[in-house]
Amino acid sequence: MSVSTPSPEHAQLIHDWNDTASTAPMSGRSFDLFDESLRDGLQSPSVADPSVEEKLRIIQLMADLGIGAADVGLPCAGQRAYDDVTAIATYVRDNRLPLRVCAAGRTVVSDMAPIADIQQKVGIPLTAYAFIGSSPIRQYAEGWTVEHIREASQKAIDFAVKENLDICYVTEDTTRSSPATLEVLFRSAIEHGASRLCLCDTVGHATPDGVRRLIAFTKALIAESGADVKIDWHGHNDRGLAVVNTLFALEYGADRLHGTAMGIGERVGNTAIDQLLVNLKLLGVIDRDLTKLVEFVRAVATATKVGIPINYPLVGEDAFRTATGVHAAAIIKAKRRGDEWLADRVYSAVPAGEFGKGQTIDVGPMSGMSNVTFWLEQQGMAATEELGKFILAKAKASAVTLSDAAIRDAVREYEGAAAL
Ligand SMILES: CC(C)C(=O)C(=O)O
C-alpha cells in the first residue's frame, strides 16, 4: 500500500522542500528493521514486563509490519526470561513468521550458552547479540584493557560459532570509542566469525555527522577484511536525535536499524521504531501496509503499562484532532467537498488515512463557528445559528476543550430555555 499518489490537481498543492528524490537510492538498498521493544524497551525502569501471551501478540504484530528481526530478551537473566525467549522462538517456528529471533547477552560464555540451548531445543536459527563496552570511559569505569575486551569477545564469539549461533558483535558506546580500539575489536570479531557489527549510540551522544563518520570507518574496515559482514545501527534518544540519526544511518550504509515501540528503553529510550516506519514510508523508502502500526504501539503501551502522550505522533490522542477555528475550518471545507486527500493534508504532514486513522474536530475556547456546526452535523443534529452561537459562547468561556457530554448538556440547556 503506497502513500496514495496525488491526482495531478493535488500534486500542485504541496511544494516539497524535502529532497525526497535523494532518498530514492535508499529504497533500492536492502535493509532490515530490528525491534528492541522486548529487550532494551523492557530495561526502562518504569515499564512492566509483559506476559508471555502479550509478548507473542507483539511479535505477531512486528511480523505483520514487516519488521525482519527482534531482540526478544536476555535468556541469561533468569528462568522467566529464558522461558519467554523459548516461547517466542517456538511461536515464530510454529507460525513460520518471517522474523529472525535474536537474544542478547554479555560477551561471556555463560550468557551465550542459554541462547545456544534455546536454538538447539526449538530448532530454528537464532542470532546472539554479544555486547561489551568499548569506549575509554567504560574501560576506565570497569578497569578493562583493550586486550581484555578483545580476549573476552573472542572467547564468547568462538563459543557461539562452535554452537552454530549466528553472531552479532555489539560494542556498547561505539559512538564514544576510539578508532584504534574499534579497529582491534572489529578485526578480531570478523576473524572469529561475527556476521554483524552493531554500532551503538548507547548514551545518545551521536549527531548525524558522527553517524556518517563512524559508519564510513566501519564499512572501510569491513571492505578491507573481505568478509561479508553487515552493520547494525542502535540509537538512543538522550539528545532527541535518535530517529534522525537512524534515518541518516540508513543513508550512510547501515544494513539493519534498531528501534522500540514509542522509543521505550534505557533512560529516555531508543529510536522510536513506529516513527521510523512512518518516515520511511513518507520518504518513499518502504512501500508497505502500516495500518497495524497503531495497534502495535498500543499493544506495547498496554503490555508495558506505559502511557501514550497525547501529542505522540500517529498514536497520541491529539495526533489528528483539532479544536482550533482556523485549522478546523480548512479541514471541514475539504471534507465538505468530499476531498479526504486534502482533509488529511491541509494541516498535517502525516496523512491520517494512510495509517488507518482520520481527522477529528472538537470544540473549545479557540474554536470558531465551523467547529460547532460540524460537530452538530456529525451527531445528526440541526445546526441552527442560534444553537451554534449558544454552544460557541460556552466553549469560549471554558478553559478546556468541551467533551461530547458537555456539548450535549449545552444542547439540552439551550433546548430547555427555548421551550420556556
Ligand atoms: C547492548 C546494546 C545493543 C545496547 O542496548 C546499547 O548499547 O545501548
Among protein residues, the one with the nearest Cα to ligand 1's atom 1 is 131
Contact 162, 120 (CB under 8 A): no
Q: How far is the CA of 72 from the centre of ligand 1 (A)?
A: 13
**Domain locations in the chain?**
28-304, 321-419
CA distance 63 to 351: 23
CA distance 36 to 258: 7
Among protein residues, the one with the nearest Cα to ligand 1's atom 8 is 202
CA distance 156 to 163: 11
Beta-carbon count within 10 A of 141 CB:
10
How many alpha carbons lie under 13 Å from residue 207 in its C-beta half-sphere? Answer: 1
Residues with CB under 6 A from ligand 1: 40, 104, 131, 170, 172, 198, 200, 202, 234, 236
Of 267, 272, 344, 280, residue with least CA distance to 308: 272
CA distance 276 to 260: 10
Q: Please report the pLDDT score of residue 4 as a whole number.
A: 74
Q: Which DSSP category does 260 fall into?
A: B
Q: The complex's ipTM?
A: 0.98
Q: How far is the CA of 198 from the centre of ligand 1 (A)?
A: 9
In the structure, how many helices (H) and strands (E) does the chain have?
Answer: 17, 10
pLDDT by 10-residue block (mean), the chain, 420 residues: 77 86 70 98 97 98 98 98 98 98 98 98 98 98 98 98 98 98 98 98 98 98 98 98 97 97 98 98 93 98 98 98 98 97 97 95 98 97 96 98 98 90
Beta-carbon count within 10 A of 70 CB:
28
Q: Please report the pLDDT score of residue 1 as a whole number.
A: 39
Mutate-to-test residue for ligand 1 from 38, 112, 129, 172, highest number of ligand atoms within 8 A of CB: 172
Ligand 1 atom closest to the Cα of residue 172 is 7
Q: Please report the pLDDT score of residue 402 as a whole number.
A: 98
CA distance 22 to 252: 12
CATH of 28-304, one of 3.20.20.70, 3.40.50.300, 3.40.50.2300, 3.90.1720.10: 3.20.20.70
